[in-house]
Amino acid sequence: MTIRTITRLAAGTALVALSVGVAHAQEESVEVLHWWTAGGEAAAVGVLKENLEGEGITWSDMPVAGGSGQAAMTALRARVTSGDPPTAVQMLGYDIKDWAELGVVANLNELAEEEGWDEVIPAAIQEFSKYDDQWIAAPVNVHSTNWLWINKAAFDEYGGEEPQDMDELYTMLDAFEEQGIIPLAHGGQPWQDGTLWEAVVLSVGGMDFYKQAIIDLDEEALSGDTMREVFDHMTKLSGYFDENFTGRDFNLTTAMVIEGEAGAQEMGDWAKAEFLNADQVPGEDFVCMRFPGTQGDVLFNSDQFVMFEVGEDKRDAQLKMASAVMDPAFQVAFNTVKGSVPARTDIEDTEFDDCGKKGMQELAEAAENGTLAGSLAHGHAQPSAVKEAVFDVVTQHLNGQISTDEALEQLPQAIASAQ
């Protein structure tokens, strides 16, 4: 055999080995079920796709439209039942716990320990990222629900002082009414009613009362004098709505504030994306502040990617995806467009706008001070059945179908029936 022949054989062998290696890298893929189909959200997901492609991992997209995630959970049940779960699934709150109980989720402990997740993720969020002390999900972000969004021009005309409690809020809303605009924009859907109600619960009773009533479901707290005050405030607040509030989507309600048709809206920080999409600037065109009386307290919900049990051939790609989700650069890129803040508390706020900076600082402080609690309205305080039972009572009361006395009687009864 000549030297040239040996050289050719060696080169051929190396080429085959290289081709096999490339093919193996290209074979690595993740199939991801999510409901981030809106423009800004889809763009943020694109960052994660690009990160993984840089690792040689192909992203197989399984988007299921529907902002609540219910359609996605229906699709997931079909996949798991057929024995073919996706690699990862976007999920919220108690849905995570429900799937974990079925024993179909993957263990991420080794990766979490290697990357120090325990040190950078607030304990209240780890409650949903872990099951039986095992990491099963990678949290993408933290939304908080107890925000008030205010039209800056109306706010300046009022005097430019942020209301610190419910009485000062009414003073500002009265001023908006005198300006000839709708004082408080509200979308009359059960989840929006619940979002406003839980903010009032927190404002009137404080975090200890919120936890007693909403987390512990204490019957006395649910039917006592403090809760009476909450429902009375809801009645008063409804007097500042416009007559067409029933059934209106939150983004259309936010648009009323953007356009100066309304003065303010109570809503989670996903509303900020609507202002940004309208080319509005925090502090110049709109004001973001904690709902009056809830300063220092944060009610949260957190999007997470839950990892499902997959074959060993997909495990490496799955772990790389979990690591990419937790990468600080991705958390910045995603949350600057989503309106939320990173799930990690060790990320610099340099690239965030003023509202984002405020949200990051307040999340870190609330986590440290024990004033961070799950949002009932967004699936992080109670299972779905209890949440829906509360919605029924709150919405009926807000629409004048039952009195405050009836609400106080029905609320603990409805919750007990749902448990």
Q: What is the per-residue pLDDT across 264-321, written as a single tens digit (0 to 9) for each?
A: 999 999 999 889 989 999 999 999 999 999 999 999 999 999 999 998 999 999 999 9
151 and 165 inside one domain: yes
| Whether the predicted pLDDT of 65 surpasses 90 | no
Give the per-residue pLDDT at 68: 63
The values of phi and psi at residue 251, to 5°, are -70, -35
Which whole number is the average pLDDT over 40-52?
A: 82
398 and 251 inside one domain: yes
| Whether the predicted pLDDT of 14 surpasses 50 | no
Does residue 408 belong to any structural domain of this protein? yes
- C-alpha of 306 from chain center: 14
Does residue 1 belong to any structural domain of this protein? no
CA distance 219 to 215: 11
268 and 222 inside one domain: yes
277 and 311 inside one domain: no
**3-state DSSP call for residue 170?**
helix
* Radius of gyration (C-alpha) of the chain in whole angstroms: 24
237 touches 203 (CB < 8 A): no
How many other CB atoms are there within 10 angstroms of residue 283's CB atom?
11
Does residue 290 belong to any structural domain of this protein? yes
261 touches 224 (CB < 8 A): no
**C-alpha distances out from residue 361 to 129, 276, 358, 366, Å:** 22, 20, 5, 9
Higher-scoring residue by pLDDT: 30, 26: 30
Give the per-residue pLDDT at 27: 66
User: Angle CA(386)–CA(390)–CA(396) in degrees, nearest 5?
Assistant: 150
Does residue 3 belong to any structural domain of this protein? no
Structure tokens belonging to residue 14 = 């190396």
| Whether the predicted pLDDT of 404 surpasses 90 | yes
Q: What length does the chain have?
A: 419
**3-state DSSP call for residue 26?**
helix
Give the per-residue pLDDT at 43: 78
**3-state DSSP call for residue 192?**
helix
pLDDT in tens, 357-374: 999 999 999 999 999 999
| Domain-terminating residue out of 332, 359, 386 | 359
Does residue 412 belong to any structural domain of this protein? yes
181 and 306 inside one domain: no
H or E, element range at 205: helix 190-210
Give the per-residue pLDDT at 26: 47
Per-residue confidence at 67, pLDDT binned at 50, 70, 90? Answer: low
Q: What is the CATH number of the domain that holds 130?
A: 3.40.190.10
274 and 345 inside one domain: no
What is the domain range of residue 309? 29-143+302-359
| Whether the predicted pLDDT of 194 surpasses 70 | yes
Does residue 19 belong to any structural domain of this protein? no
277 and 158 inside one domain: yes
339 and 396 inside one domain: no
| Whether the predicted pLDDT of 197 surpasses 60 | yes
132 and 156 inside one domain: no
Give the per-residue pLDDT at 238: 98
138 and 154 inside one domain: no
322 and 400 inside one domain: no
Signed CA dihedral, 278, 280, 285, 286: sign only: positive
361 touches 351 (CB < 8 A): no
293 and 385 inside one domain: yes
Does residue 255 belong to any structural domain of this protein? yes
Q: How many domains does the chain have?
A: 2
pLDDT in tens, 222-236: 999 999 999 999 999
pTM for the whole structure: 0.86
Q: What is the average pLDDT score of the chain?
A: 91
Does residue 239 belong to any structural domain of this protein? yes
User: Which residue in this structure is represented by tokens 């994306």?
Assistant: 273
